[in-house]
Amino acid sequence: MFFPKAMTEIEMIVPARDLLAVTKVLSGHGIFHQADSSYASGAGVDSGATNWQEKAAGYSGLERRIQIVMQALSIDEGQPQANKEFEKMGELVDIRSTVEQIENEVKNATDQLSVEKKRLEQLENTLRQLEPVADIDLDINSLRNSRYLFSMLGQIPTANVERLQTSLARVPNVFLTLRSDSSKPVVWLAGTQSNADVLERAARSAYLSPLNLPDEYQGTPAKIIESIHAAIKSANQKIADLQETLSQLGKARENQLRALLWDVHASRVLAEAIVRFGQLRYTYVVTGWVQSDDLERLTQRLKNASKEILIETLPTTRSGHNLDVPVAMQNSEFLKPFQMLVNTYSRPRYGEIDPTILIAFTFPLLFGAMFGDIGQGLVLAVLGWLMSSKRVKALSSMSSLGGLITICGLSATLFGFLYGSFFGFEEGVHLFGLELRPLWISPIHHILDILMVAIGAGVFLLICAFLIGIINGVISREWGHLLFGHSGVAGFLLYLSFLGLGASALGFLPISVIVFAVLAILSALAVMFSEALIHLVDGYRPLIDGGIGTYVIQAGVELFEVVISFLSNTLSFVRVGAFAVAHGGLSAAIFILAELIGGGNHGFGYWAAVIIGNLFIVGFEGLIVGIQTMRLHYYELLGKFFTGGGMRFEPLTLTPAQED
């Protein structure tokens, strides 16, 4: 729980004749994370590797073609049969032949459907052009191909009519408004063919949209519209018939296509896995990782698949860097929302303490402290439950945040009891016959107290973060950084000495200020010259890069930055108390506004303002408090002890259903 799942490195020598059987075992159970061992290939076996690469590419191409056919037939991919065992890799030639046959069946119908849809689109476009002039008794054919007459029938913005007439004042023309319209009247512009270029340029500049009709349309607009309606009806019928044909074809081929898809998918996974094997003359080298709990089960299956397989396992210790060890988290469903927060920052390294449990405690705690209200917290909790349960379709896309919002809402409800706040109603208010009383403290009435508590909580959390960082340093055996790093022992002692100096100066500690001053000086020197001391401990030479003067100046600046960061990290937690106070102040402002709207009466206007104000607080302030809570963790806490950079555990799987 405090660390990622234990991993064991496994290396296998597989006889060539058992290659597929072993690969099937490794890929079929979702417990083996493959490492690339192709570097171990011997000389003279490149042709075999190339052959598997070609197979993998062939399966990949077929998988995509099957998916395209299924999309054309509106068939969802579904999932492979739960109890079906993958028997063997499909023959590329046979599968390709079957896919091509189905593609041809689908292509005939889809091509016709595409043609009909394009024709329908053209008909509807023509209809849109003709509808504005449907009541004009004019033979369209008389406007076409005239030897002496230039003619343009169309629509023009009303504001441009006068401009067009002005620009053509010196050019002989006839300009008629055939149908008036407030935005785009239908107009007819005519003139001699000798002035056609001038007339057309002027019309285009005035945004006159001409009516363009194919030559086959004859007669008046009304007659043409009638024939177009008949053509549209015919096209829609053909489209419906073709869609029905595709639907029937989809029903007939549905099971076959799904079976083909998952067989090809599994074959591709196997081929791509084999490409990454190391290939010798008669054997293959396979390396990877398996969770220690699954090692015995996997080993037994491998030995059943191949009697001559050689297996070597190496349990992996958590000490050292272990950057190449895949990380599989082992948190419960309750902790999954907080694991998401941690992974957003970075995935833990294999030997690093997983901060998910700490975040699961501190995130709701800080959120609730800033957003404490019984009613508003319950609203958030219900909203989060609706998200995670996917009962409301509009919220289903945010289901991953549902659990986090629910827990934070419940924490806000708990702090609401401590603060004595219910939908903004606070101490001294009688609600439903009960008087609201804080079980602990009312932030808006005890501002300094809540700010001091917030700083104290921040100091405690920062001390915990330093201690976890020191534990991580011991595990990783980075002794230099552990002793002299900014977040190591030296940095921790410097932070404690500052706290001691402040507490002693205020009389809270009986220990002399001199003791803490000496500790501060020694730890500050260790932090200041941490680079040289770390190089000394780790055996790195030279101890410093560049001249001694430049290094001292740089070290002094870094020490100043560390001191400032300690101060800012601590004071950042003031925002917890400040937001608790601001939350109460905003609620009070809403009630003042409600009194003004209601005119002193607790009528409809008053309660409408209260309800709308509370919804605003839940939505707007809830979002801001969530962001501030995340900021405190990402910038103040996690940076003290969490390095991250772990590699995700991605086991080989034949079906997506087995993926994590």
Q: Biggest alpha carbon distance in the chain?
A: 112
d(CA 618, CA 615): 5
Alpha-carbon dihedral angle through residues 386, 390, 394, 398, given to the nearest 10 degrees? 80
The b-or-e profile of 432-442 (16+ CB within 10 A means b, else e) is eeeebebeeeb
pLDDT of residue 573: 96
**SS3 assignment, position 13:** strand
d(CA 498, CA 267): 63
The Cα-based distances of 230 to 7, 114, 227, 288 in angstroms read 71, 20, 5, 67
d(CA 472, CA 488): 10
Q: Are 133 and 179 in contact (CB under 8 A)?
A: yes
Cα-Cα-Cα-Cα dihedral sign, residues 600, 605, 606, 609: negative
Residue 547: Cβ within 10 Å count: 9
Could you report the per-residue pLDDT of 102-119, keeping only the tens digit for each?
Answer: 999 898 889 999 999 998
Q: Which of 448, 439, 431, 437 is CA-nearest to residue 414? A: 439
d(CA 569, CA 638): 11
Question: Is the bond preceding 326 in cis, omega lying within 30 degrees of 0?
Answer: no
pLDDT of residue 659: 42
Q: Which of 167, 165, 209 is CA-nearest to residue 184? A: 209
**SS3 assignment, position 478:** coil
Task: Provide the residue type at 437 as one letter.
Answer: R
Domains and CATH numbers, the chain: 138-219 (3.30.70.2750), 356-477+572-641 (no CATH), 478-569 (no CATH)
Runs of H (alpha helix) within 327-425: 336-345, 356-370, 374-389, 399-419
Q: Which residues contact 458 (CB under 8 A, 6 or more apart)?
A: 569, 570, 572, 573, 574, 576, 636
Q: Give me 154's structure tokens.
A: 């169309």
pLDDT of residue 85: 65
d(CA 454, CA 203): 73
Q: Which residues contact 205 (CB under 8 A, 6 or more apart)?
A: 167
Q: Give me 195's structure tokens.
A: 């002035």
Q: Which of 627, 583, 612 is CA-nearest to residue 373? A: 583
Which ranges of the chain have pLDDT less than 50? 658-660
pLDDT of residue 144: 64
**SS3 assignment, position 435:** strand
